[in-house]
Amino acid sequence: MGTKTKSRPIRVGDTVRIVTPAFFIRCGYPIAFADVVAKVRADHLPLIELFLKAVGVKFSALNYEPPPASVDKVAKAVAYDLLKLAGHGGRERRIHTKAFPELAGQAFRVTGVRFVKTGDYSPGRHHGGYDGYEYDPPYLANEQTHRILALAGSHEWEDGYGRTLSIELSNVELMTEFAAA
């Protein structure tokens, strides 16, 4: 196997070119919490409002005013329980992306860097040990760390959740003529 020279890491301030236009949406399990909250609100808003009115929460008579914060809190609590019952859709934690093929080859400036982990969730377990009781905490099997880059100049391209675009490092290349010193 030959020697491979390692290029310097991409940092904030660098300019990158999009090679594979698969943009980062989120890292997590198959069912997204925000999607479940939206579904609970869409399917059960009249029931949530009826319940809250029954316990004394006041709603505005004006249709243009937002509902009380308790509406979202109830929807989120129900969504949390539904997600837990569904096991979040599975044990595989992975990166979810959205394609913007029209951005292939475009250049963006890196404004932030963060890391996410993928893998297979393994629950904790209790078992007998030397002292009669041991606990192995939950962990991610086959864990991998991925570098996610936030991109400037991407405000007109939203990722479906109202955020500007981010992308995994493996989907871009450093434009050396624009690299930060």
Average pLDDT for 145-157: 79
Percent of the chain with pLDDT over 90: 55
Distance CA 131, CA 31 (A): 39
Q: How many CB atoms lie within 10 A of CB 109?
A: 18
Half-sphere exposure in the Cβ direction for 73 (13 Å, CA): 7
Q: Is the pLDDT of residue 69 over 50?
A: yes
Average pLDDT for 71-97: 92
Distance CA 113, CA 94 (A): 18
Domain extents in the chain = 1-29+91-181, 31-89
- What burial class does residue 51 get, using C-beta atoms within 10 Å of its C-beta: 0-12 exposed, 13-18 middle, 19+ buried? middle
Distance CA 41, CA 47 (A): 10
Is residue 88 a contact partner of residue 29, using CB atoms and an 8 Å limit? yes
Residue 91: in which H helix or E strand, if any? none
Distance CA 51, CA 74 (A): 10
- What burial class does residue 149 get, using C-beta atoms within 10 Å of its C-beta: 0-12 exposed, 13-18 middle, 19+ buried? buried
pLDDT digit string (tens) for 6-38? 567 899 999 999 999 999 989 998 988 999 999
Average pLDDT for 142-170: 79
User: Would you say the C-alpha torsion 145, 151, 155, 156 has a positive or negative sign?
Assistant: negative
